[in-house]
Amino acid sequence: MSHITDPSAGRGARTTSCRACALREKTCFEDMTEQELAFMERFKVGEMVVEAGTTVLLQGSTSPQLFTVLQGLGLRYTTLPNGNRQVLNFAFPGDFIGLQSAVMGELCHSFEASTKMRLCVFDRAGFWELLRHQPRRSFAISWLAAREEHFLGDSLATVGQREAGSKIAWALLRIWQRLDELGELQSSPRGNGLRAPMPWRQQDLADALGMSLVHTNKTLARLRAKDQADWRRGWLTLPDPEALAKEYEITMSEFQKRPLI
Amino acid sequence: MSHITDPSAGRGARTTSCRACALREKTCFEDMTEQELAFMERFKVGEMVVEAGTTVLLQGSTSPQLFTVLQGLGLRYTTLPNGNRQVLNFAFPGDFIGLQSAVMGELCHSFEASTKMRLCVFDRAGFWELLRHQPRRSFAISWLAAREEHFLGDSLATVGQREAGSKIAWALLRIWQRLDELGELQSSPRGNGLRAPMPWRQQDLADALGMSLVHTNKTLARLRAKDQADWRRGWLTLPDPEALAKEYEITMSEFQKRPLI
DNA sequence: CGACCTGTTGATTTAGATCAACTTACGTGG
DNA sequence: CCACGTAAGTTGATCTAAATCAACAGGTCG
């Protein structure tokens, strides 16, 4: 199901060069210096396109690759010995995937594409070189790792300390915010307001929040009835995100430009 | 209640030099090159000794400092708008504290000393210099951040997907393992077996696992009755850690030497 | 058309929260 | 040395949020 394009194969015409990368245009990312660009292009091994449902990284295996999401949405999860699944986070364009595997030997989580995805592929061996020769890039890596740590801490606090309605609202707001940063919110086809693509299943959200599927469903229905959030058929609508956040005592961390790997 | 020693004050006789740092002797840490040592000594600003109960970092403030734990135990937590507290992790000697604050502007968690602690203090401004000039050190930072991310993911999976007995067992095993690595397990004063210092309160454990205090207490009592774990008056005894892990389907990540900042 | 996946809804059960009373340990000061 | 105050730990009774069970509906695809 997967398809890798190697830039050294053929004339490399099929692989976007970092310079031409559409992600760089987004306002949510920091600018890159000419030197950084040149370096990243050497570090880049190719591109990979996967269909929705593909397992890109499998817990327990040892992947020699690192990725940056170019297009599409995915999710990262662990499977416990008791069979339960914990979704660790949802992945968006610009996310750097696999830092942990570069550090620990073995993968302790899986990564799955929730839509068709395009991934930028880097070689793990090049990672060390990256940090050695590019202090700015290396700082970017640490920055992203710290940010990820922050997000996970936030998830932990939500899963551990909020009740159902608040959990759901928190998750929807976070997804909304991330898509907003990326400029992926669209105006609804019917009438006013914005909507966000949200391709995940209710089961995914349930597994992210430590809730049962049924309870997740009923809580979503309650939010819909109160006109606070409407997530159906792959699209999420939040009539008033600020009011929602206030109602459920949710403080979103403010926007910050972030580096792109 | 806190007491800072500045190496540039007096003759700096009161501050341990990195070369003489007792932590470096521990087998769980990677060796440092002479060059790294020299650099870290410049980066180090001083030492701080705090009494048990001191809040070292406060959520919402902006701390100009980074720490490495030299002695003692602590914990990191967030307070939610609803008043609940989530303990994010427990801190042990060798842990590097404050990477997030170095990256995000504002602290999004607090740090508290659970025993008397000795902390190695670094200046935040020096952090950027660190990454710029010391590729090896910079790799160490990324390594530690990735490890922290891994631990948090593990916590999230536990809080989200395990039931009470398993949660408690998981937490006790992890603390046990971390102290074991540091060589802090001692033989019990009465009779055979090992014991670990565990200065936290039941409330801390409850807040780490997203459980109520009462339920935590009752679950601990059940484990004690089954001779699986005994935590009382600041000491933890695990008669058979492997059996405990097996019983509750817990896989501990294997030991790996880690860098020291 | 039937198989399958995702979502929906009501009925029932239960793990864990909450409430409340009490014990134990450890000061501190008279 | 004892009385008192406070913080942590313990235990039983009660309540409830959320899990589980079960049946069904809608959409999609071969």
Query: Quick one: which of A248, A231, A249, A229 has its CA closest to A240?
Result: A229
A199 touches strand D (CB under 7 A): no
Q: What is the mean pLDDT of residues A161-165?
A: 97
Q: Give yes or no for a contact between A89 and A112, defined as CB atoms under 8 angstroms apart.
A: no
Q: Fill in the amino acid letter for A25.
A: E
Strand partners, A144: none
Confirm or reject contact between A131 and chain B (CB < 8 A): yes
Record: contact A157-B209, CB cut-off 8 A: no
Tokens 């059940």 belong to residue: B222
Question: Per residue in A175-186, pLDDT tens?
Answer: 999 999 999 999
The pLDDT score that the predictor gives to residue B11 is 38
Please write the tens of the pLDDT for every residue from A217-232: 999 999 999 999 999 9
Calculate ∠ Cα B260-B17-B151, nearest 5°.
Answer: 20
pLDDT of residue B104: 78
Task: Return the ∠ at Cα B248 (arms to B253 and B94), rounded to 5°.
Answer: 35
B105-154 tens-digit pLDDT:
789 999 999 999 999 999 888 877 777 778 888 888 888 999 999 999 99
pLDDT, residue B14, reads: 56
Could you tell me which residues are beta bridge partners of residue A29? A258
Which residue is associated with the tokens 């659970």? B114
- Residues from chain B that touch A160, judged by Cβ atoms under 8 A, are 86, 159, 207-210
Q: Confirm or reject contact between B104 and chain A (CB < 8 A).
A: yes
Mean pLDDT by 10 residues, chain B (261 residues): 43 66 93 89 90 93 90 97 97 94 85 95 83 82 92 98 98 97 90 90 98 98 96 95 97 91 87
Question: Which position has the token pair 């339920």?
Answer: B215
Q: Which residue of B has its CA nearest to A259?
A: B103
User: Which nucleotide lies at the shortest CA–C1' distance from A53?
Assistant: C5
Q: From A146, which residue of chain B is nearest by alpha-carbon distance?
A: B100
User: Residue with structure tokens 């937490």?
Assistant: B171
How many Cβ contacts (< 8 angstroms) between chains A and B?
A: 157
Query: Looking at chain B, which residue has its C-alpha nearest residue A143?
Result: B103
**A109 to chain B, minimum CA–CA distance in Å?**
9
Q: What residues in B contact A145, CB-CB < 8 Å? A: 142, 145-146, 148-149
Distance from residue B191's CA to nucleotide D10's C1', rounded to whole Å = 26
Task: Report how far residue B209's alpha carbon sits from residue B249's, in angstroms, rounded to the nearest whole number.
Answer: 17
Q: How far apart are CA B194 and CA B185, in angstroms?
A: 6
CB neighbourhood size of B181 (10 A): 19
Please choose, from the candidates B151, B60, B158, the residue with its C-alpha nearest in 3D space to the C-alpha of residue B111: B60
How close B127 gets to chain A, by Cα (Å)? 10
What chain A holds in terms of domains, given with CATH numbers, is 2-146 (2.60.120.10), 159-247 (2.60.120.10)
Q: What is the pLDDT of residue A14?
A: 56
Write down the pLDDT at residue A12.
37
Inform me whether the pLDDT recorded for A11 exceeds 50: no
Residue A136, pLDDT > 90, answer no
* Confidence (pTM): 0.92
Q: Which positions in strand C are less than 7 Å from the protein's CB atoms?
A: 6-11, 15-20, 25-26
Cα–Cα distance measured from residue A67 to residue A124, given in angstroms and rounded to the nearest whole number: 10
pLDDT for position B102 = 79
pLDDT at residue B13, as a whole number: 40
Please provide residue A258's backbone torsions phi and psi, each rounded to the nearest 5 degrees: -125, 155
Strand partners, B236: B196, B231
**Test mutation, B90, B103, B250, B252, chain A, max A CBs within 10 A:** B103
